[in-house]
Structure 1
Amino acid sequence: MIRCVGAVIHDPRGRLLLVKRAHEPEKGKWSLPGGRVEQSESDHSAVRREVREETGLSVTVGPLIGRVFRPGPKGTFEILDYSCWSSGTDLSPGDDAADAVWADSATFATLERQNALTTGLADALRHWDCLPRNE
Structure 2
Amino acid sequence: MRVNCVGAIIFDAFGRLLLVQRGHAPGLGLWSVPGGRLEPGESDEAGLRREVLEETGLRVAVGRLAGTVHRPGPGGVTYVIRDYLATVSGGTAAAGDDAAALRWCDRSDLARLPLTEGLLDCLTEWGALPHA
Q: Assess same fold via TM > 0.5.
A: yes
* TM-score of Structure 1 vs Structure 2, range by shorter chain: over 0.9
User: Structure 1 length normalisation: TM-score?
Assistant: 0.93
Task: Write out the 4+ residue segments of structure 1 that deviate beyond 4 Å after TM superposition.
Answer: none
Residue 130 of structure 1 corresponds to which residue in structure 2?
128
Identity across the alignment (%): 53
More strand by share: 2
Residue 21 of structure 2 corresponds to which residue in structure 1?
20
Residue 35 of structure 2 corresponds to which residue in structure 1?
34
Paired with 1:32 and 1:93, the residues of 2 have a C-alpha distance of: 12
SS at match of 1:59: strand
Paired with 2:86 and 2:67, the residues of 1 have a C-alpha distance of: 13
Residue 54 of structure 1 corresponds to which residue in structure 2?
55
Structure 2 residues not aligned, in runs of 5+: none
Structure 1 residue 26: deviation in Å? 1.4
Structure 1 letter corresponding to 2:7: G
**Alignment RMSD:** 1.1
Number of residue pairs aligned between Structure 1 and Structure 2: 130
Paired with 1:107 and 1:88, the residues of 2 have a C-alpha distance of: 25
Post-superposition Cα deviations, 1:70-91, rounded to whole Å, max 9, x if no partner, equal: 0001300000000100045841
Mapped contact 1:51–1:58 kept (Cα < 8 A): yes
Structure 1 residues not aligned, in runs of 5+: none
Structure 2 letter corresponding to 1:14: G
Paired with 1:107 and 1:62, the residues of 2 have a C-alpha distance of: 24
Mapped contact 2:8–2:52 kept (Cα < 8 A): yes
User: Structure 2 length normalisation: TM-score?
Assistant: 0.95
Paired with 2:55 and 2:115, the residues of 1 have a C-alpha distance of: 17
